[in-house]
């Protein structure tokens, strides 16, 4: 893989780059947001490792510019020392695909990078299938999601979650089932799924619309029109 690491902590960046290069990856590095954004736009990378707090431009702003202004869909793994759900949601809503909390194991970062790249490379390989729950429609071939007349934009992980929930609607899908789908046998901390579900809920359930995404306490999540249950 060709990887861009944007991290201002020199020692951490050096350790991460050395670890990834030893595993056969080609790695570029930047120590500030402006340089990182320039490299991310100019070059083609399989994935970007992005710190949240950077000189020149924050990782949140960089990610948002990469998505909204440059139109780049390169997967982004965000590094953050902040472990609140609100902080993680901010990163995901800016366009990050996943995150790891500092301090982290280098082996975990490598595993997350491979998982994100696999998901990105396979995103367009689904045969077209239309899923519908109430006025929510998902074309798994084009990856276009609509709620009524409006288009719903989602990062890769919430997109995989909504596909799973729609396929199983109106059944309740357990946290364990969702975590196994996204992270396999080694899910991250317990707040990770909650952050992705927060992004998903904000995207599909707007004020004035009947809520479709329900949390079933002690069991999991369900996507359904409550009036038809």
**Residues 110-122 pLDDT 10s:** 888 988 887 776 5
Q: Which residues of the chain have pLDDT under 70?
A: 83, 121-128, 189-190, 228-229
Question: Residues 6 or more apart from 61 whose CB is under 8 A from it?
Answer: 33, 94
Paired with 28 in beta bridges are: 4
Q: What is the pLDDT of residue 137?
A: 93
CA neighbours within 13 Å on the CB side: how many for 157?
A: 29
Structurally, at CATH architecture level, domain 2-122 sits in: 3-Layer(aba) Sandwich (3.40)
Spans of all domains in the chain: 2-122, 130-228
CATH for the 130-228 domain, from 1.10.10.10, 2.40.30.10, 3.40.50.720, 3.40.190.10: 1.10.10.10
Q: What is the pLDDT of residue 123?
A: 52
Q: What is the pLDDT of residue 126?
A: 45
Question: Residues 6 or more apart from 184 whose CB is under 8 A from it?
Answer: 115
Whether the Cβ atoms of residue 113 and residue 23 lie closer than 8 Å to each other: no
Give the torsion through C-alpha atoms of 141, 146, 151, 157, to 10 deg: -60
């Amino acid at each position: 893989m060709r990887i861009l690491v944007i991290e201002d902590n020199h020692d951490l960046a050096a350790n991460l780059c050395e670890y990834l290069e030893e595993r056969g990856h080609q790695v570029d590095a930047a120590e500030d947001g402006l340089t990182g954004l320039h490299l991310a736009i100019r070059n083609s990378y399989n994935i970007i490792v992005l710190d949240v707090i950077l000189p020149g431009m924050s990782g949140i702003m960089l990610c948002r510019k990469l998505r909204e202004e440059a139109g780049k869909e390169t997967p982004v793994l965000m590094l953050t020392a902040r472990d609140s759900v609100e902080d993680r949601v901010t990163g995901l809503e800016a366009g990050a695909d996943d995150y790891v909390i500092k301090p982290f194991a280098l082996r975990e970062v490598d595993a997350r990078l491979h998982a994100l790249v696999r998901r990105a490379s396979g995103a367009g390989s689904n045969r077209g299938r239309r899923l519908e729950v109430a006025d929510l429609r998902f074309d798994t071939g084009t990856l276009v999601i609509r709620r009524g007349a409006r288009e719903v934009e989602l990062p890769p992980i919430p997109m995989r979650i909504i596909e799973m929930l729609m396929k199983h609607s109106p059944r309740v899908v357990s946290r364990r089932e969702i975590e196994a789908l996204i992270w396999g046998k080694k899910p991250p901390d317990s707040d990770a799924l909650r952050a992705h579900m927060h992004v998903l809920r904000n995207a599909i359930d707007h004020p004035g619309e009947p809520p479709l995404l329900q949390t079933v306490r002690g069991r999991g999540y369900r996507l359904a029109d409550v009036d038809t249950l």
